[in-house]
Structure formats: C-alpha cells, structure tokens
Amino acid sequence: GENVEQHPSTLSVQEGDSAVIKCTYSDSASNYFPWYKQELGKRPQLIIDIRSNVGEKKDQRIAVTLNKTAKHFSLHITETQPEDSAVYFCAANGPIDSGYALNFGKGTSLLVTP
C-alpha cells in the first residue's frame, strides 16, 4: 500500500521565520496531496491541498510544492506566527485496491516561539 513519510517530526522556529515540512510517498499513481493542521486537543482541518496536475499552490502565507518525479511534496509557511503552532499532517491517496483512501504521515509538531 501507500507509504507516506514525513519529516521532521518536530520543528521549532522563531516568529517571522519560515517553516518547511517535507513528505515522500511511494505510489506513483497518487494524485491528491492534502495537508491538515491539528491544534492541541482539536480536530484535524484541511489547510491546503494540491493535485498532481500542478507543481505548486499558494494561499497567503502557505504554499505547497509537488515533485512527482521524485515523489515528494512540501509545505512552506512564511512569516510564521505563534498561532501556527500545531501538528501538521501530510497525506497522499493510496492505490486503487484501497479505493484511493488517504494515507497520512506521522505528523510534524511545529512550535513558533515569539
């Protein structure tokens, strides 16, 4: 099945700096790559997603890049703020025999210090 690896597991940055989280996937047929943010004690919520027909997508301070050849995608957060502190999960849709169900990475705990 699909295997999604996510790095780093923890990340600490100073307010105003950029944060980058990287993920790799194994199934070359994967074509949907969402990112979810989960604040402490809360539910995961979608912050941005990208499909395989584009290489980059941006939404204000958040951007995602996709390299299909290398099978990796990354989340970039610029001008980080304390409220960006949360756990971020990447995901990729799995193979057809799983019905293309999403497989999640293990998460990155991001801490933005003032």
Give residues in contact with another protein (CB under 8 A).
Answer: 31-32, 34, 42-46, 49, 51, 89, 93, 98-107
CB of 42 to another protein, least distance (A): 8
CB of 15 to another protein, least distance (A): 27
Cβ proximity to another protein, 18 vs 98, nearer residue: 98
Cβ proximity to another protein, 34 vs 80, nearer residue: 34
Cβ proximity to another protein, 48 vs 77, nearer residue: 48
CB of 70 to another protein, least distance (A): 21
User: Sign of the C-alpha dihedral, residues 90, 92, 98, 99?
Assistant: positive
Question: Which stretches of 1-114 are assigned E, i.e. beta strand?
Answer: 4-7, 10-14, 19-25, 32-38, 45-51, 56-59, 62-67, 72-77, 86-93, 102-104, 108-113
